[in-house]
Amino acid sequence: MTTPQVASWQALAGPAPDRLKPLGPATPRAGFETAITVHTAELYVGVQANNGSGRVLGTSEVARTPN
């Protein structure tokens, strides 16, 4: 069995940990560490790993922004 490859990262933000929505288009993976700059007034953020078809491979823990 092969391990799915991450093709892109989707930044998420929302007013509550269970109400996150995509923040713009997904960012293509750029090597081992991919930097994503996020501008949001929302209180919570997270990120999803997507494969080449856009299927979600995993989701990070939700973090509270320093607002």
What pLDDT digit, counting tens, does each position of 3-62 carry? 679 999 999 999 999 999 999 999 999 988 999 998 999 999 999 999 999 999 999 999
In a domain, residue 65? The reply is no
In a domain, residue 46? The reply is yes
Alpha-carbon distance of 30 to 32, in angstroms, equals: 7
In a domain, residue 28? The reply is yes
Q: What letter does residue 53 receive in the DSSP assignment?
A: T
Predicted structure pTM score: 0.88
Residue 18 lies in domain: 1-51
In a domain, residue 11? The reply is yes
In a domain, residue 18? The reply is yes
Burial class (CB in 10 A: 0-12, 13-18, 19+), 49: buried
How many structural domains does the chain have?
1
Alpha-carbon distance of 5 to 27, in angstroms, equals: 14
Amino acid occupying residue 28: P
In a domain, residue 7? The reply is yes
| pLDDT at site 31 | 87
